[in-house]
């Protein structure tokens, strides 16, 4: 499975990449939206992982833009707050998932697996 990791923080990017690659995921990183646009077209990822803000832009807005290049791309916003139940259900219908901090590597891997399995089961 290919994962595009959009994160402007080099240390966080490296930590998340290492954890995901240890689990066998192919991870491509992008430090900003422009770089992510190039990557999303080249690699056709199965999942986009993004922070709540990328260079002062809301992560969801960046993700929505990337989805114009790769329709149906599931998104995991890492470090985002958990919305109330109604918003969370609507987000998951649209394949936008959030995962709050703090978390362990094991928690992250479990969430990524859960999101990918959920998306694969959808008609």
Cβ–Cβ < 8 Å for 3, 20:
yes
Q: Which structural domains are found in the chain, ordered by start?
A: 2-118 (3.40.50.2300)
pLDDT in tens, 33-73: 999 999 998 888 999 999 888 888 888 889 999 999 998 89
Query: What is the pLDDT, as a whole number, of residue 122?
Result: 76
pLDDT band at 81 (very low <50, low <70, confident <90, very high): low
Check whether 86 has a pLDDT greater than 50.
Answer: no
In whole angstroms, what is the distance from residue 43 CA to residue 94 CA? 22
Query: What is the pLDDT, as a whole number, of residue 72?
Result: 87
What is the average per-residue pLDDT within 99-110?
89
- Residue closest to 74 by CA, chosen among 52, 46, 40, 37: 46
Average pLDDT, the chain: 87
DSSP string, 1-52: -EEEEE-S-HHHHHHHHHHHHHTT-EEEEESSHHHHHHHHHHH--SEEEE-S
What is the average per-residue pLDDT within 93-108?
84
Query: What is the pLDDT, as a whole number, of residue 92?
Result: 63
What is the average per-residue pLDDT within 96-103?
83
pLDDT band at 95 (very low <50, low <70, confident <90, very high): confident
Query: What is the pLDDT, as a whole number, of residue 60?
Result: 85
């Amino acid at each position: 499975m290919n994962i595009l990791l959009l994160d402007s923080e080099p240390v966080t990017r490296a930590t998340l990449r290492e954890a995901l690659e240890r689990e066998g995921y192919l991870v491509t990183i992008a430090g900003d939206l422009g770089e992510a646009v190039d990557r999303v077209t080249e690699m056709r990822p199965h999942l986009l992982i993004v922070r709540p803000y990328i260079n002062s832009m809301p992560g969801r807005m960046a993700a929505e833009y990337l989805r114009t290049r790769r329709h149906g791309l599931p998104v995991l916003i890492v470090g985002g707050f958990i919305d109330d139940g109604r918003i969370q259900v609507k987000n998951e219908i649209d394949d936008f998932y959030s995962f709050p901090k703090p978390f362990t590597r094991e928690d992250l891997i479990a969430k990524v697996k859960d999101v990918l399995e959920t998306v694969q089961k959808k008609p």
